[in-house]
Structure 1
Amino acid sequence: MDQSNQSYSRGVQDKTLLAMTIGQAFDRTVARYPDGEALVVRHQQQRYTWQQLAETVDLHARAFLALGMQAGDRLGIWAPNCAEWCISQIASAKLGVILVNINPAYRSSELEYVLKQSGCQWLVCAGSFKTSDYHAMLQELKPELRGMISLDPNPPTGFLPWSELAALGANVPLDRLHNRQASLHLDQAVNIQYTSGTTGFPKGATLSHHNILNNGYMVGESLGLTAQDRLVIPVPLYHCFGMVMGNLGCITRGTTMIYPNDSFDPLLSLTAVAEERATGLYGVPTMFIAMLDHPRLREFDLSTLRTGIMAGATCPIEVMRRVISEMHMSEVQIAYGMTETSPVSLQTGADDDLERRVTTVGRTQPQLENKIIDADGNTVPRGEIGELCTRGYSVMLGYWNNPDATREAIDDAGWMHTGDLASMDAQGYVCIAGRNKDMIIRGGENVYPRELEEFFFTHPAVADVQVIGIPDERYGEAIVAWVKFHPGHVANALELQTWCKGRLAHFKTPKHFKIVEAFPMTVTGKVQKFRMREISIEELRTESQ
């Protein structure tokens, strides 16, 4: 086979990786930009220069030492976005303590599983969030922890208030922190992130300083982030998007981190961009759609925006056009990846045309490799669909305490098998066709939900759409489209089906349409297609009875 025609691509090699720990990278930025603004947490009315953030981080790192935290200990963090999240992230990294990110939406059984599976010894937690009473859940669980630190100023018995850490830290000599930090190396584990599997228990992707520091650095490189940039981060910190592409991307470049709220709110995100004169904004497509469709959008001056990242799903072309024209994000980029690859392995560039930014997820990131393979492991010709695999500095150390799952995911040659179906064009741009498990097989025909979703986005009334397959006695699977309309627009299922005629192959036309106000979502803003399947199957079963 002609080697040049194979679906294999290697990112540029002239961008040098950072050979340091997260603590060293942070200290380097503090030394370079001591008076620059580092962190703005609007809902807490807190602002830090790099020097102020460093003093706070070091004081809390010393407090963690006073509590007896050892290198390799696991510190869970169960809280929405806040200043203490960022402080805990950097302070734990300086001590070689492994931060375990816990989804703020978790309930008792999920929390118990993650604490036990990771062997957490310590926990930083909010008092409550939305409908969850964290204190009550922990008091009921009575997890075997050495200590629980609460962000609530007046927590119940058994919790150490965060406000008392400063006094604890003041009694620990700075030399102890410096000695611990000097003993660490870049390939040590620093973070465990649980992947939300649709079946079975979540798996803890174990990531090193080298993994996530360099991924944040390379994402920032593509965006052209500098110490003059100001980035609004409305995505959750417990996820790679927030803590790696957001926090570490900014920390490696001296860029200001701005948290508009404890969780995503379209109005507060728009307000933060305007009032903080932000140059960058992160989000998943559903977040950008919510901001664009907000009735007060026109009130905000967004003219300082230049760049940002849309990730989590391929961006609909109409949404991308509006982000560029109405939000002034002329250099907005698409990024693709997964927690197991720290996360980004593919990214578009600032100068890629609109077509590339909406039909692809870009090209291979610097110092990484990607290939697309068939079921036998052979690299497929360019243009053909197969499974996407990634290799390089970003691939996780493995799943925490789960060697079997690690062997299934990472092969002997070091390739991470993503489970995503993709194709690569002649220039190395990759298109994601969907998850292996999301592909619909209707009457022997392969149907890729992403293609149908792109098609429905061209309908003037459609604001967002998600396509799934459900069991069907006659064809094996039937296609269901969940549709959300723009404000003031309506259409019924018959109108949508009629609209498909002549525009779409008959076997691709959805059999069922479900009109909704919202989709089932994870806290990170990702659509839960498995929940949509369950709901659709149950509703259609009820209708047929």
Structure 2
Amino acid sequence: MLFASAERHAGRVAIEQEGVAIDYRDLPDLALGVCRSLMAAGVQAGDRVAIWAPNCRDWVIAALGVHCAGAVLVPINTRMKGAEAADILQRSEARVLLMQGQFLGVDYPAMLQPWRPASLEQVVVFGAAPAPAAADLDWLTFIGNGAAVSETQARQRAAGVGPRDLSDLLFTSGTTGKPKGVMSAHGQTLRAFNEYVKAIGLLPGDRYLIINPFFHAFGYKAGWLTCLLAGATILPHAVFDAEVVFQRIAAERISVLPGPPTLYLSMLAHPRLAETDLSSLRIAVTGSSTIPPVLIERMRVELGIRVVTTAYGLTECGGLATMCNPDDPADVVAGTSGRAIDDTEVSIRSALNQPVATGESGEICLRGFHVMRGYFNDPEATAQAIDADGWLHTGDIGNLDAAGNLQITDRLKDMFIVGGFNCYPAEIEAGLIQHPAIAQVAVIGVADERMGEVGCACVVLRQGQQLDASALIAWARERMANYKVPRHVRFFQALPVNASNKVVKGELRDAVHA
């Protein structure tokens, strides 16, 4: 894809950042430069290489270089703390980490240093400045080391990568609280997102502002990879700010703008909406939250976006399973996640793993070319997720209408979504229970106007201990990614439990909402 796109779209801008444009024809040489450096560092085909950085040009070039080297890309969430990142680096057995030095006032190498696993051989920091003490190499030195490997050797390595070879390990949490590495292959990823390109009508020369983070399938596969498939221009956006995004649309003639419903609502409420030229906007893809049909109509009419659609997917199926046709009525786009993409089956199944009747609710199960190869080094969890007939059990509850449109109604998993990020109570609870004042804790998701949902920690204190909500929230913020930090805390004398002594979270929700 990389070499074909460079030839097909030579003369077009592939990546634009802060006024600097990279032509499609130059992408292979830049990627091969990273490939040569990884080979010089001893990286072999199939080895894992991690990237820990915000959306930027270097992220894309580094990822393409990892792929050219036949290595497996391991993206790391920029909101993670040092211990969280180190856990993923250790369990993925990553040999090299390519990372940001400073971002939003955080020194990433220093944050990782106390937790750095012995299996991580090299830490490389983006940028031209000398590497900080907690890293091994700066970017220029790293690229310079690639001179020891010829371009011919790098091209041979890249040519040896096949469609069944692993392209990435995207770590996603499970109900056990430990993130699991989802194994996806090159061929299935390209096939799925070629479908996405066709569905949204992405064209060469489109200008795609990518707000969704590159460490997530929406920013990576439905983001910059999709651009390269279509010949569109990647415009990375590192920190979401509705006002800045609004200004960029007009100033940089953005034509493609996926994002959460809150993004479009903030644009519609902008005081300068009537006087701002948003005529370049052509495509919007939204989801991750309940969408009122009137929002779809307003996006089409008031923002003038011709293609407005929604989709459903999860990391375990590469990020895409169903999608609305942009020509569907507003109530279909807002109320459903559309129909299965080509060569994909959606089945709504009962607790006994039997298909249910049209319109009835059950667990959403998927089968097709894009289902993951499994969880890395975790055959037991893989067997739980994918049954003997090849159905991926998503843990989401939904139904199919007569036209085959999927409606998601609930989650089997105890997950909630904060601003597009999946939050798993078991993982957050495992962190909070380490507080010396806490005897018991359960975390639930509660509605939030801005974020969709946020966490609420239901806490029972140890005998004789004192703790207030603000102190616990501050304590948690130092130890876990921001989106995992509960926004609310409620204190209880005891948590409601059932006969098996399991916390009854439905009763907790009722108590919190009372």
Q: TM-score, normalised by structure 2?
A: 0.80
The match for 1:425 is 401
Structure 2 Cα separation of the partners of residues 480 and 28 of structure 1: 45
Alpha carbons of 1:47 and 1:141: their partners in 2 closer, same or farther (altered >3 Å)? same
Residue 180 of structure 1: how far off its partner (Å): 0.8
Distance 1:395 1:51, change over 3 A: same
Contact in 1 for aligned 2:490/2:512 (Cα 8 Å)? no
Q: Is the 8 A contact 2:30 2:61 kept in 1?
A: yes
Answering whether residue 13 of structure 2 is matched by residue 48 of structure 1, we say: no
For this pair of structures, how many residues does the alignment match? 445
Q: 1:358 to 1:531 in 2, by over 3 A?
A: same
- Secondary structure in structure 2 of the residue aligned to 1:300: coil
- Residue 264 of structure 1 aligns with an amino acid whose one-letter code is F
- From 249, 252, 263, the equivalent of 1:276 is 252
Shift of 1:142: 3.3
Distance in 2 of aligned mates of 1:319 and 1:149 = 44
Match of 1:76 among 46, 50, 63: 50
1:65 to 29, 39, 59: 39
Q: Deviations over 1:289-326 (max 9, x none)?
A: 34434444445311111112113234232332332223
CA change 1:143–1:290 in 2 (3 A) is farther
| SS of equivalent to 1:333 | strand
**Aligned partner letter, 2:381:** A
Distance 1:485 1:116, change over 3 A: closer
**Which range moves more in the overlay, 140-149 or 157-166?**
157-166
Report if aligned partners of 2:82, 2:113 keep a CA contact under 8 Å in 1. Answer: no
User: Which residue in 2 is equivalent to 1:242?
Assistant: 219
Hey, what does 1:98 align to over in structure 2? 72
Gaps of 5+ in 1: 1-24, 440-448, 451-468, 470-478, 487-519
CA separation in 1, counterparts of 2:482 and 2:246? 20
1:484 aligns with 449
The verdict on how the C-alpha distance between 1:366 and 1:535 changes in structure 2, with shifts beyond 3 A counting, is farther
CA shift for structure 1 position 385: 0.4
CA contact (8 A) 1:284 1:526 kept: no
1:120 corresponds in structure 2 to 94
Query: Per the alignment, in what secondary structure is the counterpart of residue 258 of structure 2?
Result: strand
Q: Is the 8 Å Cα contact of residues 235 and 263 (structure 1) preserved in structure 2?
A: no
DSSP 3-state at the match of 1:226: coil
Q: 1:107 aligns with which of 72, 77, 81?
A: 81
Preserved CA contact (<8 Å) 2:175 2:414: no
Give the partner amino acid of 1:535: V
Question: Which range moves more in the overlay, 200-209 or 140-149?
Answer: 140-149
1:411 aligns with 2:383: no
For 2:243, give the aligned amino acid: L
Cα–Cα, structure 1 residues 290 and 538, in superposed 2: closer, same or farther, change >3 Å?
Answer: farther
> Is the Cα contact below 8 Å between 2:47 and 2:95 reproduced in 1?
yes
In structure 2, the CA distance between the partners of 1:330 and 1:235, relative to structure 1 (3 Å rule), is same
How far is 1:159 from its partner? 2.1
Change in Cα spacing, 1:64 to 1:485, as seen in structure 2 (3 Å) is closer
Q: Cα deviations across residues 315-361 of structure 1 (Å, max 9, x unaligned)?
A: 23233233222322221110111001101101001211111101100
Q: Distance in 2 between matches of 1:276 and 1:116?
A: 41
**Offset at 1:537?**
6.3
Change (3 A) 1:392 1:74: same
Letter in 2 for 1:287: L
The corresponding residue for 2:489 is 535
Aligned residues of 1:210 and 1:393 also touching (Cα < 8 A)? no
Paired position in structure 2 for 1:503: none
User: Post-superposition shift, 1:288?
Assistant: 2.9
Separation in 2, partners of 1:309, 1:179: 38
1:151 aligns with 2:126: yes
* Distance change >3 Å, CA 136–CA 392, structure 1 → 2: same
Q: Cα deviations across residues 5-38 of structure 1 (Å, max 9, x unaligned)?
A: xxxxxxxxxxxxxxxxxxxx11111111111111
Give, in angstroms, the shift of residue 531 of structure 1.
Answer: 4.1
Q: Which moved more, 1:99-108 or 1:207-216?
A: 207-216
**Stretch moving more, 289-298 or 312-321:** 289-298
Aligned equivalents of 2:265, 2:482: Cα separation in 1: 13
Provide the residue aligned with 1:378 in structure 2. 354
Given the alignment of the two structures, is residue 328 of structure 1 paired with residue 304 of structure 2, yes or no? yes
Partner residue of 2:202?
A: 225
2:15/2:22 contact within 8 Å kept: yes
Q: Residues 108, 236 of structure 1: CA spacing in aligned structure 2 closer, same or farther, 3 A cutoff? A: same
Q: Are 1:32 and 2:8 an aligned pair? A: yes
Deviation (angstroms), 1:218: 1.2
Task: Return the alpha-carbon distance in structure 2 between the equivalents of residues 251 and 171 of structure 1.
Answer: 29
Please list the CA deviations of residues 68-109 of structure 1 after superposition, one character each: whole Å capped at 9, or x if unmatched.
211111111111111111011111111111110100011122
Q: CA RMSD in A?
A: 3.1
Instruction: Look up the match of 1:353.
Output: 329
Query: How far apart in 2 are the matches of 1:280 and 1:63?
Result: 34
Change (3 A) 1:383 1:536: farther
**CA deviation profile, 1:504-539 (whole Å, cap 9, x unmatched):** xxxxxxxxxxxxxxxx99xxx9986x946x735669
1:68–1:332 Cα change, 3 Å: same
Question: Please, which of 382, 389, 393 is the counterpart of residue 369 of structure 2?
Answer: 393
Q: Alpha carbons of 1:183 and 1:334: their partners in 2 closer, same or farther (altered >3 Å)?
A: same
Distance 2:327 2:490 in 1: 41
Matching residue's letter, 1:132: V
Is the CA contact (8 Å cut-off) linking 2:6 and 2:26 kept in structure 1? Answer: no
> Is 1:258 aligned to 2:223, yes or no?
no
State how far apart, in whole Å, the 1-side matches of 2:143 and 2:179 are: 35
Provide the TM-score with structure 1 as the length reference: 0.76
Q: Does 1:132 align with 2:106?
A: yes
Distance 1:426 1:536 in 2: 43
**Structure 1 residue 484, shift from structure 2 partner:** 3.0
Aligned to 1:189: 166
2-structure distance, mates of 1:113, 1:57: 28
Q: Is the 8 A contact 2:16 2:234 kept in 1?
A: yes
The 3-state SS of whatever aligns with 1:332 is: strand
Bigger CA drift: 122-131 or 534-543? Answer: 534-543
Distance 1:127 1:296, change over 3 A: farther
Identity of aligned residues (%): 33
Gaps of at least 5 residues in structure 2 are 418-424, 426-443, 452-475, 494-507
1:201-216 equivalence runs, <5 A: 201-216=178-193
Distance 1:125 1:297, change over 3 A: farther
Task: Check the 8 A contact 2:283/2:307 in 1, yes or no.
Answer: yes
